[in-house]
Amino acid sequence: MIDRRALRWNGWGFVHTGFELGRREPEVWRWVADALGRKTLPHRPAAPLERVELAEPALAEPDLQALRALVGAGHVKTDRYERAFHARGKSYLDLLAVRSGDLGQAPDAVVYPGTGEEVQALVSHCDREGIAVIPFGGGSSVVGGVNARRRDGQRGVVTLDTTRLGRVLAIDAESLTARVQAGIYGPELERTLQREGYTLGHYPQSFEFSTLGGWIAARGAGQQSYRYGKAEKWLVSAELATPRGPWRTESFPASAVGPNLNQFVAGSEGILGVITEATVKIHRVPAEKDYRGYFFKDFVAGAKAVRTILQEELPVAMLRLSDGPETHFLQSFSGAQHPPGAIERAAMQALAWRGYGEGRCLLLVGLEGDRETVLESGVRTRAVIERLGGVHLGRRAGERWYAKRFAMPYMRDPMLDRGIAVETLETSVRWSDLHNLYRGVHRAIHDALRDNPADADARAIVMCHLSHGYVDGASLYFTMIFPQKQGAEVEQWLAVKRAATDAIVAGGGTVSHHHGVGTDHAPWLAREKGEVGVALLAGLKDSLDPNHTCNPGKVLPG
Amino acid sequence: MIDRRALRWNGWGFVHTGFELGRREPEVWRWVADALGRKTLPHRPAAPLERVELAEPALAEPDLQALRALVGAGHVKTDRYERAFHARGKSYLDLLAVRSGDLGQAPDAVVYPGTGEEVQALVSHCDREGIAVIPFGGGSSVVGGVNARRRDGQRGVVTLDTTRLGRVLAIDAESLTARVQAGIYGPELERTLQREGYTLGHYPQSFEFSTLGGWIAARGAGQQSYRYGKAEKWLVSAELATPRGPWRTESFPASAVGPNLNQFVAGSEGILGVITEATVKIHRVPAEKDYRGYFFKDFVAGAKAVRTILQEELPVAMLRLSDGPETHFLQSFSGAQHPPGAIERAAMQALAWRGYGEGRCLLLVGLEGDRETVLESGVRTRAVIERLGGVHLGRRAGERWYAKRFAMPYMRDPMLDRGIAVETLETSVRWSDLHNLYRGVHRAIHDALRDNPADADARAIVMCHLSHGYVDGASLYFTMIFPQKQGAEVEQWLAVKRAATDAIVAGGGTVSHHHGVGTDHAPWLAREKGEVGVALLAGLKDSLDPNHTCNPGKVLPG
């Protein structure tokens, strides 16, 4: 587990690391300010922990004693740091709250059980006692999934931090599966597996600060999901502690004995119970990795290449296509840090003459596997791409991305320090609706920001990449950067969020491809699942957790 | 749709076709008799329709009038043929019943709705009126999934035949999906898709006489599931008529908005409602198919080759490994029909000298896709197989299997006519448990038949193949052929079924990989899903069908 004191309680990552801008940092911020229509950037630091307002704990000494009896006195925390750290996740709304110093609800106690049995005892105890239980792994939810809410009538909120459950228990080398405790962080999981020659291959952007249980609970996707699959694909079996008692799901390669209950666990976001352990599919560590870049003249051409590669079933680990604005942003941002030399400028100019200029789109192709497969797939993907108008940039573009693939989340804190909002939205949609949805969401975000600007000069950067592709469609991931409307940050965000999510739904997309529902997406659940679907999910919840002890208020509205 | 009068009401297939044994039919039966320890084979014909006992219909004229009002007078049937045809499915138990002339329960009426709206109207009507609704497509269930049961208190049973819903509605060529009505038979579906250059690629052994809706409802698997996936994999979205109203599931390439509800539909076996329509993933018709055979010295060596090919992620359409008894049976059966010539006998003798004799196992490798992929995969699969001790037999073995791949179900009727039981069982299990389970099930079947023999001389043929492999495990499919214990056929079957299924569960396997639960496997549901899992499934059922109108008594015990 990671010592909570080593982590930013109100931002991303380790206290001692940050987003490195190098010695040209002032030029980078000047470029950002220009792009957003700012003359200067304000100084808006986060409230320090000592100024944070925390409600008096609702649970008194007898309750705390009972918790201590279940997990040991040293594993029940009620200090300010632990309560603040576990109050919320890492969504933009969460950061607004924690940086403002007004946390709203925080857990009354944080417990760190050390075994699955202790988790079960805690869940059963809290269920009997009318206390809400919030499962918390890395706490990296960006949809309000770990917020310390309770239901009317519940006496208090206990956040159940799973990170003491951090071990790989067994590897089945013959079946290529591993049994792992749910609170393990990404790096520790991969270190342990790779020592034995295996990998799960699940590398979300939050990899360093998220846990196996969270990936499963929120149906997470790693950057190489093309090869390794989303959580619901690599999940073989799970163990949960539920108010109805311990639950171990089936673990067959496939079955026709009714619905596969693992598919209820993936996406359950803690509302059916706490995931304590999982069996997952693993792979041998790939002998070869090949990441490289290509330019397309526009997003439509690039998307067609991605679709063709997937529909020709060529084995790839990653295809990531940035749209024009994102390609421009990445190059300008990195250009402000490291101004391109004469040769690079000339090369770009030459590409521009050939039509790969304004609006060009960067496609990153990642291949992983045995040498023969990577070689063969490299030849075939390149042939498809060049046939469809892509131009090869070589491995450096791919390797540059690979080296910085977990860096983006670090960018948000320094942006917020300067009054700049960074928010992301993602969806997935079938190919035949993809471009319509893309345009609709772009328009919705721009319109909402135009109606809710920081001031008359404010400009927004709205960019998108296509990733996590499938034979029948792909995910679109939007990033927006805009000056905050001071004093009305929440309203501004709500306007954008509503407009963009409505546009996603109207365009035939899902409200989330891999972030989950939490509280933020719950209002759209019925539009996506339908009345019957919501009734089914509510029925599931009632079967296992009739008192709404587990993560109340998440996923299901109301 | 297929005219019901053209089909055997009490057996497999079209009335005018059968299992072709050719001019050496007497020799084949002599060989069968010898193998089962019979001197002669008895003559045990099925009861003709006119001798079948059918209960008086429980639904009277006002009920029939109401049904006619919903679907049109011509689409409500109450004649003997329709009631007998729809009384049961095609399990061994079903055949014992229909051949005996004692059908037990039969539907009081059979309705053929022509639209999804009519299906909804029927379901809602029957739900209000306390009448059970049994969805029926091809009726090929081998687990009691379509039997015309009703619950205590229900006034009658209506079987809802879906086969008028038999059209491909739309093809999305960009997303490679098709929207199809659920009552379409396999051949019509593939004909329509292939005319446009596409295929679903779902070819179960029942392909000719089963429907899309049934494949989804029972989580079916085609013979080429390695490439095209089981139903739960190719299902994109479904429409159902439920007692709670129409239900259309989400249709995204992937989503993190709670559990994917399509995974509740796949495996629902009609207990949540009637599937009326589905969107499914399709493929371009493969440019190349390559089916060939290999011998291994034993089952363990062959299974290792299958596992290695899958874990090296080589693209295959099919890997099908017969164990020693099945390889021997297939060769002897076909040898009785077409005695091998001198050259073939010499070749077999030469193989036997090299160790591929008694106990040798046939592996069929099927490759489908574009030319380049099939070529590359052909080279690599052969290299793996030969490295692991397989010997190449060429394409003829593969093509012979391919030509007869739907023939086996036709064998059962003439066997039953001669007092011989043919029964199958299947499971899936992780690789590390596979051989233990294999031995355990073999032993359990042999022991149960030894304790419940037809007579002292009776022998059984128990054989198995491994198919539908995955990275983490594979399916095992057992076929048993044995002389019936006359007058105690059901008890004999029950003893075998219980022993084999208990051995499957004890060995870590699922009670069914692709046949489903129906009534026959319901007693094992709790052992497989656990107490919490059964509670969840019961909760699902109660959410959509609190009166148990839809397919009562299936999947969930009691």
Confidence tier at A333 by pLDDT (50, 70, 90): confident
DSSP state of B405: T
CB A165 within 8 A of CB A241: no
Q: Residue B511: its chain A contacts at CB < 8 A?
A: 255, 257
Region of residue B166 (left: phi > 0; alpha: psi -120 to 50; beta: else): alpha
Q: Given B255, B264, B373, which is nearest A428 (Cβ)? A: B255
Which residue in chain A has the smallest CA separation from B371?
A: A312
Q: Is 90 exceeded by the pLDDT of residue A18?
A: no
Q: Is 70 exceeded by the pLDDT of residue A558?
A: no
B96 or B336: whose pLDDT is higher? B96
| Angle value at C-alpha B366, between B262 and B352, nearest 5 degrees | 135
The pair phi, psi for residue A133, each rounded to 5°, is: -120, 120
- C-alpha to C-alpha distance for A302 and A306, rounded to whole angstroms: 6
- Among A466-470, B253-257, B342-346, B434-438, the range scoring the smallest mean pLDDT is B342-346
Its pTM stands at: 0.97
Which residue in chain A has the smallest CA separation from B504?
A: A252
Q: Is 70 exceeded by the pLDDT of residue A47?
A: yes
Confidence tier at A271 by pLDDT (50, 70, 90): very high
- C-alpha to C-alpha distance for A211 and A227, rounded to whole angstroms: 20
For the residues B357-381, what does the mean pLDDT come to?
A: 97
- C-alpha to C-alpha distance for A40 and A38, rounded to whole angstroms: 5
Q: Which of B171, B237, B252 to mutate to test the interface with A (most CBs of A within 10 A)?
A: B252
What pLDDT shows up at residue B334?
Answer: 85
What pLDDT shows up at residue B19?
Answer: 78
Which residue in chain A has the smallest CA separation from B427?
A: A255
Confidence tier at A103 by pLDDT (50, 70, 90): confident
For the residues A338-344, what does the mean pLDDT come to?
A: 89
- Among A216-230, A366-380, B323-337, B500-514, the range scoring the smallest mean pLDDT is B323-337
For the residues A114-120, what does the mean pLDDT come to?
A: 98
Confidence tier at B557 by pLDDT (50, 70, 90): confident
Q: Given A219, A263, A542, which is nearest B539 (Cβ)? A: A542
Q: Given B376, B471, B525, which is nearest A257 (Cβ)? A: B525
Q: Given A250, A259, A510, which is nearest B257 (Cβ)? A: A510
CB contact under 8 A, A535 and B429: no
Q: Is A82 exposed, middle or buried (0-12, 13-18, 19+ CB in 10 A)?
A: buried
Q: Is 90 exceeded by the pLDDT of residue A146?
A: yes
CB contact under 8 A, B539 and A537: no
Alpha carbon of B270: minimum distance to chain A alpha carbons (Å): 11
**Gyration radius (Cα) of chain B, Å:** 23
For the residues B238-262, what does the mean pLDDT come to?
A: 97
Q: Is 70 exceeded by the pLDDT of residue B558?
A: no
CB contact under 8 A, B174 and A307: yes
pLDDT in tens, B261-306: 999 999 999 999 999 999 999 999 999 999 999 999 999 999 999 9
CB contact under 8 A, B177 and A543: no
Q: Sketch out chain A's domains with CATH numbers.
A: 168-284 (3.30.465.10), 288-405 (3.30.70.3450)
Q: Given A176, A261, A513, which is nearest B533 (Cβ)? A: A261
> What is the CB-side half-sphere exposure of residue B166 using CA atoms within 13 A?
20
Chain B contact for A371 (CB, 8 A cutoff): no
Please give the mean pLDDT across all residues of chain A: 96
The percentage of residues in chain A with a pLDDT greater than 90, rounded to a whole number, is 93
Confidence tier at B53 by pLDDT (50, 70, 90): confident
CA distances from A71 to A105, A119, A127, A133, B465 (A): 24, 9, 16, 15, 50
Q: What is the DSSP string of A207-264?
A: GGG-BHHHHHHTT---TTHHHH--HHHHEEEEEEEETTEEEE----SS--SSS-THHH
For the residues B530-540, what does the mean pLDDT come to?
A: 94
> Chain A 13-42, CB below 8 Å of chain B: which residues?
none
Which residue in chain B has the smallest CA separation from A171?
A: B432
Please give the mean pLDDT across all residues of chain B: 96
Burial A486-518 (b: 16+ CB within 10 A, else e): eeebeebbebbbebbbbbbbebbbbbbbbbbbb
What pLDDT shows up at residue A338?
Answer: 87
Q: Which of B199, B219, B250, B255 to mutate to test the interface with A (most CBs of A within 10 A)?
A: B255
Q: Is A464 exposed, middle or buried (0-12, 13-18, 19+ CB in 10 A)?
A: buried
What pLDDT shows up at residue A459?
Answer: 97
Q: How many CB contacts within 8 angstroms connect chain A with chain B? A: 275
Q: Is 80 exceeded by the pLDDT of residue A215?
A: yes
Which residue in chain B has the smallest CA separation from A258?
A: B267
Kind of pairing between the strands at A245-248 and A168-172: unpaired
Which residue in chain B has the smallest CA separation from A262?
A: B259
Chain A contact for B537 (CB, 8 A cutoff): yes
Confidence tier at B22 by pLDDT (50, 70, 90): confident
What pLDDT shows up at residue B555?
Answer: 97
- A558 C-beta neighbours (distance < 10 Å), count: 7
CB contact under 8 A, A174 and B307: yes
Chain A contact for B516 (CB, 8 A cutoff): yes
Chain A contact for B115 (CB, 8 A cutoff): no
- A371 C-beta neighbours (distance < 10 Å), count: 11
